[in-house]
Structure 1
Amino acid sequence: MIVVTGATGQLGRLVIEQLLEKLPAQQIVAAVRSPDKAADLKALGVQVRQADYNQPATLDSALQGAEKVLLVSSSEVGKRLPQHQAVIDAAQRAGTALLVYTSLLHADRSPLALGEEHAGTERYLQASGVPFVVLRNGWYTENYAAGIPTALQLGSLYGAAGEGRISSASRADYAAAAAAVLLTAQPPIGEHIELGGDTSYTLAEFAAEAARLTGQPLPYVDLPQADYQAALLKAGLPAIYAELLADSDVGAAQGGLFDDSRALSRLIGRPTTPWQQTLASALQG
């Protein structure tokens, strides 16, 4: 039995879709904070169990009988380390044979502030004794593609990534990687796998491609971190996310989102989705 946490999130749902292609639905557990949001998964025959990262008691019942667990990292920045630790503790108590964790690219040396909680989780997992595989996911191409319509309205794409190259891939690519590790008979126990797209781009190149696709001019305007953060706040983003996005761009400028190992495409057995394709799909949809 495979338990997927955060199963109603964008990544978790894609992983379950991948698993359903290979496994009977009753062998898959969708562990979710709000089971009522997983009615569609339940209708497919997937087991739905409540699992609140902030309520450890729910985690024991959610992971009961779990042979393998996918710990999809929490979205609650600043609270993630204790939340992840609670899941790891529950997996230990359940005698789980494999825990797969979605971390951040180069988490152990990332210049991004986001890396701190991931690195802490990795250390805790290493010390727990639970057999594990860490998937260090790079950026989702969708992260940048989602901002292009607003950038087109503004007439410029703003950021703070400089000439930093970004090796992003689609969510579906990362979901395929998680499913591949969960389904293999011989998972690479103890490995930390750096995952990124086959090709990379700067934000200036990303903006130029958006301009080509839409026929509208879209220059990239690089800002100092503080100015970009202020612009995000002015656009209505909560302070914590404005700070993290600006920090992440600066981390990208320092190479934090670049990887040319092509480990992701090897793991999923196909090339990663071209970033141009993901951008085109976002602009069409």
Structure 2
Amino acid sequence: MYAVTGATGHLGRKVVARLREFVPSSEIVAVVRDARKAADLGVGIRTADYADPRALEGALAGIERLLLISSSSFGTRQAEHANVIAAAKTAGVGHLVYTSLLHADRWEPSFAKDHTETEKWIAESGLVHTILRNGWYWENHTTNLNVALGYGQLIGSAGTALISWASRKDFADAAVTVLTGKGHEGKVYELAGDTAHTLGDIAAEAASQSGQPLVYRNLTQAEHASFYESVGLPPPVAAMLAEVEAKGVAAGVLHDDSRTLSRLIGRPTLSLQQAVIEAFGS
């Protein structure tokens, strides 16, 4: 049996859909907080919150291979991940796969500590495991391109740092490759797109495809935090996101030219041109 936590999220849904191409739906379990949101996945559903150890133990009973998709609950996700790891050990999970962060051990912002601590706990648990250090999704910066075009500016605080973007589908396919394959035990994979670009490159490509002016405007960390607050994010979250980009991304930690991701999935990762095409088509 296979299980995917966070299965109703953007990445989780793509993992489940891809997994169904290789494994009978009857052998797949979506571990979710709200079963109603998982009704369309076409697989088994078990309800458990990352914060509920007992529910997690029940949800993971009989599971051989587990994909732990990192929690998006900033501030509490270390504890949540620890709960899943403990439940997996109690349930006798045979192989735990975790979605970490590209070059997690090279980040200055504390944002990455959630991942490095989780990696440490997994290693100490004695569980057979694989770490997928995922880079940035194209969708992080292309989803709102139409909005940016309305203002003529794409904003950020990464400067001219190179970022090796890939799509959620690319990362989902890699997760399924590891879940269903052999020889990945004990590996830590640094996963990123085949080519690296800057935020300015995204702006230029979007301008070229749309025929509308769009430039990249680089903000200071404080300006970026203020922007996030202006669109409704709580101040602590706004500050954290601004720090991640200004002190992490800007330092180049999301650049990786190993092409490990494309080797795992057996095809090139999504290109800048195609990412923008898909953004405008959605």
> Does TM, scored on the shorter chain, surpass 0.5?
yes
Amino acid aligned to 2:135: G
Percent identity of equivalent pairs: 49
What is aligned with 1:140?
A: 137
2:107 aligned residue (104, 110, 127): 110
Deviates more, 1:218-227 or 1:105-114: 105-114
Classify the secondary structure of the residue corresponding to 1:29: strand
Whether the 8 Å CA contact 1:112–1:256 is kept in 2: the answer is no
Say if 1:139 and 1:14 are closer, same or farther in 2 by CA, change over 3 A. same
Amino acid aligned to 2:40: D
Whether the 8 Å CA contact 1:133–1:187 is kept in 2: the answer is no
Please tell me whether residue 80 in structure 1 is matched to residue 77 in structure 2: yes
How many Å separate the matches in 1 of 2:201 and 2:237?
Answer: 24
What is aligned with 1:156?
A: 153
Alpha-carbon offset, residue 279 of structure 1:
1.8
How many Å separate the matches in 1 of 2:20 and 2:222?
Answer: 45
Alpha-carbon offset, residue 146 of structure 1:
1.4
Alpha-carbon offset, residue 271 of structure 1:
0.6
1:229 aligned residue (212, 225, 230): 225
Please tell me whether residue 60 in structure 1 is matched to residue 57 in structure 2: yes
What is aligned with 2:118?
A: 121
1:200 aligned residue (196, 199, 210): 196
Runs (4 or more) in structure 1 with deviation over 3 Å come to none
How many Å separate the matches in 2 of 1:275 and 1:52?
Answer: 36
How many Å separate the matches in 2 of 1:271 and 1:78?
Answer: 35
What is aligned with 2:14?
A: 14
Please give the per-residue CA displacement for 1:198-242, whole angstroms capped at 9, x wherever unaligned: 011111111111111111111111111111111221232332332
Please report the RMSD computed on the Cα atoms of aligned residues, expressed in angstroms.
1.1
Whether the 8 Å CA contact 1:105–1:137 is kept in 2: the answer is yes
Please give the per-residue CA displacement for 1:163-204, whole angstroms capped at 9, x wherever unaligned: 1001010000000000000000x2321111000000111111
Classify the secondary structure of the residue corresponding to 1:257: coil
Alpha-carbon offset, residue 149 of structure 1:
1.9
Whether the 8 Å CA contact 1:169–1:272 is kept in 2: the answer is yes
Please give the per-residue CA displacement for 1:141-162, whole angstroms capped at 9, x wherever unaligned: 0000013222112221111101
Say if 1:187 and 1:90 are closer, same or farther in 2 by CA, change over 3 A. farther
Whether the 8 Å CA contact 1:15–1:178 is kept in 2: the answer is yes
Aligned pairs, how many? Answer: 281
Q: Which residues of structure 1 form unaligned runs of 5+?
A: none
| TM-score of the two chains, using structure 2 as the length reference | 0.97
Please give the per-residue CA displacement for 1:85-126, whole angstroms capped at 9, x wherever unaligned: 100001101111100000000111223432110011001111
How many Å separate the matches in 2 of 1:149 and 1:233?
Answer: 21
How many Å separate the matches in 2 of 1:227 and 1:40?
Answer: 41
Which runs of structure 2 are paired with 1:21-36 in the superposition (5 Å)? 21-36=21-36
Alpha-carbon offset, residue 282 of structure 1:
1.0
How many Å separate the matches in 2 of 1:88 and 1:124?
Answer: 8
Say if 1:60 and 1:79 are closer, same or farther in 2 by CA, change over 3 A. same
Please tell me whether residue 50 in structure 1 is matched to residue 47 in structure 2: yes
Amino acid aligned to 2:22: K
